[in-house]
């Protein structure tokens, strides 16, 4: 079962969505998660579930202060750092290479 | 959801070129086109569709993110995990 | 399999597991399975005042699906090795997909 592209053509094409993630290995990525959370960090591992390992991570959490009933709930942000972080894939919404 | 069906299958009646036979046929036809992707959260992404897989994972190029109709952010490239997707629509 | 193998290399290291309900549990990683269920020993709960009901618990089994993050000791992770393993796994997954669709 030789692949149509022949040997050696395997690794550097963008044929499926996860190739975008593969090309970001050892690069800084932006990750949007469920629950109004975002991460920025260096991508060291991923799999098909979008489980991730990120290094030198900054997490941003967006929290709405809902004390005022007028609805102008201000958005507060909380930042956290982590030197090495495993992220479970089912929380992932979007992954973008950081330009 | 299984992997995308092979596209060569002989569907019934002849159809116009733009009228895809099935959903994955539709998706492969609009690769390279500008699309709107809406997520279950209500967030909308607009960009050029690079690729899609059987899980509806999506790669977009030149993506803009809209929350409540307002542009919030833009990304060079973006991977969207399929389970969050409500629909993919080809901008005409 | 990649992350199952990865977590096995971290057994006996101190980790902090952050759950989707915002509780964080610190402890020694004792075992992991293919679902990424996790067993921790000698645990302590971060923000103990907020979650007093766990203060007498010594060890936990955490169902993988409720995990949001696992904070890891950076010095226990060989990042180049991990990136190579990721590329290997990705190309395996790609050839598997090719088989089933041709």
Query: For residue range B47-74, what is the model confidence (pLDDT) as tens digits?
Result: 999 999 999 999 999 999 999 999 999 9
pLDDT at A2 over 50: no
The answer to whether C60 and C39 are in contact (CB under 8 A) is yes
Segments of chain C scoring below 70 in pLDDT: 48-49, 51-52, 97-102
Residue-level pLDDT at B19: 58
To test the contact with chain A by mutation, choose from C68, C87, C91, C92 the residue with the greatest count of A C-beta atoms within 10 A, namely: C68
**Residue A71 class from Cβ within 10 Å (0-12 exposed, 13-18 middle, 19+ buried)?**
exposed
| Confidence band of A13 (pLDDT split at 50, 70, 90) | low
Residue-level pLDDT at B56: 95
* Smallest Cα distance from B19 to chain A, Å: 23
First vs last Cα of chain C: how many Å apart? 25
| Confidence band of B2 (pLDDT split at 50, 70, 90) | very low
C101 CB neighbours in chain B (<8 A) are 3-4, 6
Residue-level pLDDT at B20: 55
Residue in B41, B51, B79 closest to A95 by CB: B79
B3 CB neighbours in chain C (<8 A) are 97, 100-101
Q: Do A11 and C91 count as a contact with CB atoms less than 8 A apart? A: yes
Mean pLDDT of A30-41: 98
d(CA C4, CA B82): 23
Residue in A closest to B59 by C-alpha: A17
Residue in A16, A93, A96 closest to B81 by CB: A93
Residue in B closest to C102 by C-alpha: B6
pLDDT at A1 over 50: no
Mean pLDDT of chain B, nearest integer: 85
Kindly state whether C81 is in contact with chain A, defined as any CB-CB distance less than 8 angstroms: no
pLDDT at A16 over 80: yes
Q: Do A17 and B52 count as a contact with CB atoms less than 8 A apart? A: yes
Residue in C closest to A44 by C-alpha: C83
| Confidence band of B18 (pLDDT split at 50, 70, 90) | low
- Residue C20's nearest CA partner among A25, A70, B52, A89 is A89
Residue-level pLDDT at C79: 98
d(CA B40, CA B17): 30
d(CA A25, CA A28): 8
Q: Do B6 and C101 count as a contact with CB atoms less than 8 A apart? A: yes
d(CA C84, CA A26): 10
Residue-level pLDDT at A65: 79
* Smallest Cα distance from B40 to chain C, Å: 19
In degrees and rounded to multiples of 5, residue A25 shows phi and psi of -60, 135
Residue-level pLDDT at C100: 61
More confident residue, B19 or B27: B27
Kindly state whether A10 is in contact with chain C, defined as any CB-CB distance less than 8 angstroms: yes
Query: Considering the entire predicted model, what is its pTM?
Result: 0.86
pLDDT at A70 over 90: no
The residues, ordered by sequence, that sit 6+ positions from B65 with a Cβ below 8 Å of its Cβ are: B43, B44, B45, B71, B72, B73, B74, B75
Residue-level pLDDT at B22: 87
The residues, ordered by sequence, that sit 6+ positions from A23 with a Cβ below 8 Å of its Cβ are: A12, A14, A97
Q: Do B59 and A50 count as a contact with CB atoms less than 8 A apart? A: no
First vs last Cα of chain A: how many Å apart? 38
The answer to whether A42 and A30 are in contact (CB under 8 A) is no
Residue-level pLDDT at A3: 41
Chain A neighbors (3+ CB pairs < 8 Å): B, C
B4 CB neighbours in chain C (<8 A) are 101
């Amino acid at each position: 079962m030789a692949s149509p592209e022949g040997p050696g053509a395997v690794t550097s094409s963008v044929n499926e969505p996860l190739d975008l993630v593969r090309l970001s290995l050892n690069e800084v990525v932006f990750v949007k998660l469920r629950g109004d959370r975002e991460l920025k960090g260096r991508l060291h591992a991923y799999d098909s579930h979008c489980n991730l390992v990120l290094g030198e991570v900054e997490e941003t959490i967006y929290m709405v202060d809902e004390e005022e009933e007028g609805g102008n709930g201000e958005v507060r942000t909380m930042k956290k750092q982590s030197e090495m972080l495993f992220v479970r894939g089912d929380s992932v919404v979007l992954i973008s290479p950081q330009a | 959801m299984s992997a995308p069906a092979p596209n060569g299958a002989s569907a019934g009646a002849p159809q116009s070129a733009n009228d895809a036979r099935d959903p994955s046929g539709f998706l492969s036809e609009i690769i390279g086109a500008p699309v709107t992707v809406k997520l279950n959260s209500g967030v909308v992404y607009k960009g050029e569709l690079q690729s899609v897989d059987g899980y509806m994972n999506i790669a977009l190029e030149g993506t803009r993110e809209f929350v409540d109709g307002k542009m919030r952010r833009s990304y060079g490239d973006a991977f969207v995990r399929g389970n969050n997707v409500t629909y993919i629509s080809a901008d005409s | 399999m990649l992350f199952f193998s990865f977590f096995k290399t971290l057994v006996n290291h101190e980790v902090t597991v952050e759950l989707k309900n915002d509780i964080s549990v610190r402890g020694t990683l004792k075992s992991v399975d293919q679902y990424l269920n996790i067993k921790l020993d000698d645990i302590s709960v971060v923000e103990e005042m907020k979650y007093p009901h766990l203060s007498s618990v010594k060890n936990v089994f955490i169902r993988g699906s409720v995990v949001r993050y696992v904070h890891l000791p950076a010095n226990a992770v060989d990042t180049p090795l991990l990136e190579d393993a990721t590329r290997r796994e990705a190309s395996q997954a790609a050839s598997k997909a090719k088989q089933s669709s041709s």
